[in-house]
Amino acid sequence: MDRAWCLLGLLLAYASGKKLWEVPGAHTQPHNIGKLHWEPECQYQLRHLQDSARISALLPPRLEGHWVSTGCEVRPGPEFLTRSYLFYYNRLFKAYQFYYWDSSCHDPSHSLVIKGKLRLRQASWITRGATEADYQLHKIGIVFHSQRAMQEISARINQTSGEGCSGLFPPGRSWAPGVLYEVLSAKEGRDCTAALGFAMHELSLVRVEKHYEPLLQNESSGSRAVEELYLGDIHTTWSERLHYRPTGYQRPLQSAVHHVQPCPACGIVYRSDEHHPPILPNKAELPLQLSGRWVSAHCEVRPAVLFLTRYFIFHGTNRTWEGYYYHYSDPLCKQPTFTIYASGHYTKGVPASKVRGGTELAFKVTYARVTPMDQVTLTMLNSSEPGTCGEASSWSAGVEQDITVTNGCLALGIKLPHTEYELFKMEQDMKDRSLLFIGERPTDGSSPDRPEKRPTSYQAPLIQCAGAMGIFSKHSSPNYLAKEGNNGNETLKPLPVALLLSFTAMQLLRWA
């Protein structure tokens, strides 16, 4: 009962954007918290990101214009794609989705042209900083880029869609380049898209961010504006994605006019259409060299209401890892709520079987500490039942407590020890920084605690801290929150933090 009340309080505080109480000392700015633990080069990295990227969110978001992928995107499945979305002043939109066989987005399989209308509604109170929108689909066309693509997809449409759909691909129709098949037509009441696992719910949650990039040395003055369009996330479970309403985001698109430079992919995607899909350069797969320190590039948002930044240290010599998870109540990561420190060890990586270009590992969380940073979290932890989360009734703001002794923290959904099955990938960005992609968390808030639940897509990348240790290692480690537990008992399973909050949100929605 107490716990439910606290959760409500926590959620309401998040939703209203207000702290319920002010706590002296719990009020630190992000990089001040950082000072407690972060190595100088990572502090530098983060401060640099925060200073140079003076982020503002445009409210209401202005979508008009042309938005493009900045690289090859990976969706759960996996699906490899690039996107090019145009929004017009009369609320109509035309969205291209280009799909590929390979993880470099070099070998196109088919393209979708999606036309419809979008209407912005109100600010989302589940995902602070986002705007909710309604959309209608008018038409969707598909163009196949090979005989094989046509065979595979038309067979799927034939098998899973209704009568009106089998006629789309009459017997004996063979592939010809440039033919567009209309798989959805609102006018004719036809929708054959289910077989594609296609949904456009990403349009129901939008956010536009603007920030300023430092200029290149040879440029004269001022700074360059970058605009990013965040659209709703795609459910990690295939069967859920057709009706899932997003509460988090996918990798953002960037404005075709105001994007980070250089961005070779932006230009290629910008110039493409359904008959000329973007062909990105084949990328050499980088070996996973985890050793060193990695930090979030942005304030990250998770389904449903968590905002956080992450900082990881991997020790390749003995395959141990440490992670800091800084949680906030606001979409710019300025109001801290709590911090988790977790550590453990990880296995040697092997090439991923399902997601080309990825590496599979397992890692174990054996130790964790929690620091409440605001009154709401403090009250929740301090009133948890004895033996379920650190030393009962002895929590105070800004003071760290070991939760290993209680095998985790029930109130936060953390169970120790805990093993997770992971997917990692490394890339180099245009500024030659190393990026580390860690597997997407299951959208249902559960934990990838079995090999079958291993992710097939990635979270926003971490950036290697400048001057990182050069020790070579082929293996890796953690991920989001201190690993949530699962004792196999669905009813008793502690709710992981993300789920905890989204669950409460759903309850409230139902009551409202």
Ligand X SMILES: *[C@@H]1O[C@H](CO)[C@@H](O)[C@H](O)[C@H]1NC(C)=O
CB 346 within 8 A of CB 361: yes
The single residue among 28, 136, 146, 166 that binds ligand X, judged by CB under 6 A, is 166
CB 416 within 8 A of CB 405: no
- Rule CB under 6 A: say whether 174 interacts with ligand X: no
Tokens describing residue 246 = 């997003």
Residue 25 identity: G
**Least CB distance from residue 206 to ligand X, whole Å?**
32
The single residue among 492, 510, 511, 512 that binds ligand X, judged by CB under 6 A, is 492
Q: What is the 3-state secondary structure (H, E, C) of 302-321?
A: ECCCEEEEEEEEEECCCCEE
Residue 453 identity: K
- Rule CB under 6 A: say whether 221 interacts with ligand X: no
The single residue among 318, 451, 452, 510 that binds ligand X, judged by CB under 6 A, is 318
Torsion of CA 406, 407, 413, 414, to 10 degrees: 120
Alpha-carbon span 215 to 232, nearest angstrom: 30
**Least CB distance from residue 384 to ligand X, whole Å?**
10
Alpha-carbon span 359 to 97, nearest angstrom: 26
- In terms of phi and psi (left: phi > 0; alpha: psi -120 to 50; beta: otherwise), the region of 153 is alpha
- Rule CB under 6 A: say whether 320 interacts with ligand X: yes
Binding mask 109-148 for ligand X (x = CB under 6 A): ----------------------------------------
**Least CB distance from residue 149 to ligand X, whole Å?**
12
Tokens describing residue 341 = 């420190």
- Rule CB under 6 A: say whether 218 interacts with ligand X: yes
- Rule CB under 6 A: say whether 310 interacts with ligand X: no
Q: Which CB sits closer to ligand X, 176 or 216?
A: 216
- Rule CB under 6 A: say whether 367 interacts with ligand X: no
Give every CB contact of residue 81 below 8 A, 6+ residues apart in sequence. Answer: 69, 72, 73, 75, 97, 98, 99, 100, 105
Region near ligand X per CB under 6 A, out of 186-194, 197-205, 212-220, 287-295: 212-220
- Rule CB under 6 A: say whether 179 interacts with ligand X: no
**Least CB distance from residue 151 to ligand X, whole Å?**
6
Q: Which CB sits closer to ligand X, 162 or 287?
A: 162
Binding mask 471-490 for ligand X (x = CB under 6 A): ------------------x-
DSSP 495: P
**Least CB distance from residue 355 to ligand X, whole Å?**
28
Q: Which of 315, 263, 326, 260 is nearest to 293 (CA)?
A: 315
Region near ligand X per CB under 6 A, out of 62-70, 188-196, 215-223, 496-504: 215-223
Considering only residues 395-414, where is the footprint of ligand X by CB under 6 A?
A: 396
- Rule CB under 6 A: say whether 491 interacts with ligand X: yes
Region near ligand X per CB under 6 A, out of 150-158, 281-289, 418-426, 458-466: 150-158
Region near ligand X per CB under 6 A, out of 34-42, 44-52, 165-173, 351-359: 165-173
Region near ligand X per CB under 6 A, out of 100-108, 154-162, 182-190, 405-413: 154-162
- Rule CB under 6 A: say whether 28 interacts with ligand X: no
Q: Is the dihedral of CA 321, 327, 330, 333 positive or negative?
A: negative
The single residue among 29, 56, 282, 317 that binds ligand X, judged by CB under 6 A, is 317
Give every CB contact of residue 286 below 8 A, 6+ residues apart in sequence. Answer: 426, 427, 428, 434
- Rule CB under 6 A: say whether 171 interacts with ligand X: yes
**Least CB distance from residue 391 to ligand X, whole Å?**
10
Task: Give whole-number Cα distances, 293 to 209, 322, 405, 471, in Å.
Answer: 27, 10, 27, 11
Q: Which CB sits closer to ligand X, 24 or 189?
A: 24
Region near ligand X per CB under 6 A, out of 34-42, 82-90, 153-161, 332-340: 153-161
Q: Is the dihedral of CA 85, 88, 92, 94 positive or negative?
A: negative
- Rule CB under 6 A: say whether 347 interacts with ligand X: no
**Least CB distance from residue 181 to ligand X, whole Å?**
11
Tokens describing residue 89 = 């002043």
Q: Which CB sits closer to ligand X, 171 or 470?
A: 171
- Rule CB under 6 A: say whether 315 interacts with ligand X: yes
- Rule CB under 6 A: say whether 216 interacts with ligand X: yes
DSSP 140: E
Alpha-carbon span 479 to 421, nearest angstrom: 10
Alpha-carbon span 311 to 290, nearest angstrom: 13
**Least CB distance from residue 490 to ligand X, whole Å?**
8
The single residue among 255, 296, 382, 476 that binds ligand X, judged by CB under 6 A, is 382
- Rule CB under 6 A: say whether 1 interacts with ligand X: no
Q: What is the 3-state secondary structure (H, E, C) of 165-221?
A: HHCCCCCCCCCCCCCEEEEEECCCCEECCHHHCCCCHHHHEEEEEEEEECCCCCCCC
CB 399 within 8 A of CB 371: yes
Task: Give whole-number Cα distances, 447 to 12, 192, 488, in Å.
Answer: 26, 33, 11
Alpha-carbon span 489 to 510, nearest angstrom: 25
Q: Which CB sits closer to ligand X, 135 or 314?
A: 314
Residues found near ligand X in the complex (CB under 6 A) = 154-155, 158, 166, 169, 171, 216, 218-219, 315, 317-318, 320, 378, 382, 393, 396, 489, 491-492
